[in-house]
Structure 1
């Protein structure tokens, strides 16, 4: 659905004839370039994180020293179900912040993407230098494909909301919110959040098992 068609639907309302599958497709069309922008920010963050590693900066140690406590709490004694719940709650916070960051002129959303990219790039580079690239791929890809996709969508929703606010301020849009927009965006956000649920269980039950199976026998243990 192009911008003109979306605006026409926003003016006329859904009228009860807006199937969820069509709404989800329209939401993706509307948010795609903003999701891609968020992904690009994350990629830039990864490159910065790797560059900092090459310069000898271990951000995990620096942040923990500044905070006076571990960045990642010790959850080794928790059950896998409790671990999945912890991961879901933690990631949901980042998910919500990425959306609501629109009300900080998008600065909080942009920073969330860059910061997470920097951390992943920096820590990933350090771990890869010690345990190998294969360890990082196994440790990140199974759950990361779901988790990062969800966070990119959340950031995309935040950036799109900021753009709609800007249109309203400039007078090129009648209203920031409309029933069809809220409807399709709510479905889009809910589906993205379900990816976080999948990511949490994959990380708790699958990623840890893969790391133990593939690497513990080689003298490597999960960090």
Structure 2
């Protein structure tokens, strides 16, 4: 019995093992996660283009709001820093899901805007200290943090689509127990990726930067 057949058998028997539910959740949300990833990638390209045109968005935004965009966290312990990062990223994570309440506009904006900031800031820093610094500073935690945010956005987009299906009459219910169960598992996995990302960014990334770029 292959994996797909086993999952169908489990469901037909009334059971819904977490592994099968999570696989179903990914099957249901993967293209929406891909759409979110594409929006972020588009934002990165825009951010890089703005840097090439001579715009440092970090400086521009700080001038507009009258305060640093990123608070000073230099005096915090590593544990406090990890907690700070996790809280901030969890807010972005939840907002990406709740963007369904704005017909997805908030989620689209979050993906594109964050991509623009990452692309622009990354290009500015890379031009000053080199691409290696950016790769070491972003990749270790970014490989966990970004997929988590894309998952959250994908959940928001999929939920919006289900609302549309219900309004068109092609779906009997927006939310079902099985949908909430499997999607809840996917959201949990995404949030756990944020936990890993916060730990790496607080404890591992600074050590790598100090070891490789101390000079």
**Counterpart for residue 106 of structure 1:** 104
Query: Shift of the alpha carbon at 1:74?
Result: 0.3
Cα distance in 2, alignment partners of residues 127 and 209 from structure 1: 19
| Aligned-partner Cα distance in 2 for 1:106–1:98 | 9
Please point out which of 23, 28, 36 is paired with 2:34. Answer: 36
Deviation of the 1:102 alpha carbon: 1.0
Q: TM-score, normalised by structure 2?
A: 0.94
- Picking from 168, 171, 177, the partner of 2:169 is 171
Name structure 1 gaps, 5 residues minimum. Answer: 218-223
For normalisation by structure 1, the TM-score amounts to 0.91
Aligned residues: 209
Counterpart in the other structure of 1:117 = 115
Which residue number in structure 2 is paired with residue 134 of structure 1?
Answer: 132
Q: Where do residues 1-223 of structure 1 align in structure 2 (5 Å cutoff)? A: 15=14, 17-217=15-215
- How far 1:199 moved relative to its partner? 0.2
Secondary structure at 1:22's aligned position in 2?
A: helix
Shift of 1:109: 0.4
CA RMSD of superposed structures (Å)? 1.7
Q: Give the deviation of 1:216 after TM superposition.
A: 1.2
Task: Give the distance between the partners of 1:58 and 1:178, measured in 2 at CA.
Answer: 46
Alpha-carbon distance in structure 1 between the residues aligned to 2:66 and 2:174: 43
Matches of 2:100 and 2:43, distance apart in 1 = 20
C-alpha deviations, 1:178-197, integer Å up to 9, x for none? 00000000000001100000
Provide the C-alpha distance between the structure 2 equivalents of 1:163 and 1:208, rounded to a whole number of angstroms.
41
The CA deviation at 1:29 is: 0.4
Extract structure 1 runs of 4+ deviating beyond 4 A.
none
| Structure 2 runs not aligned, ≥5 long | none
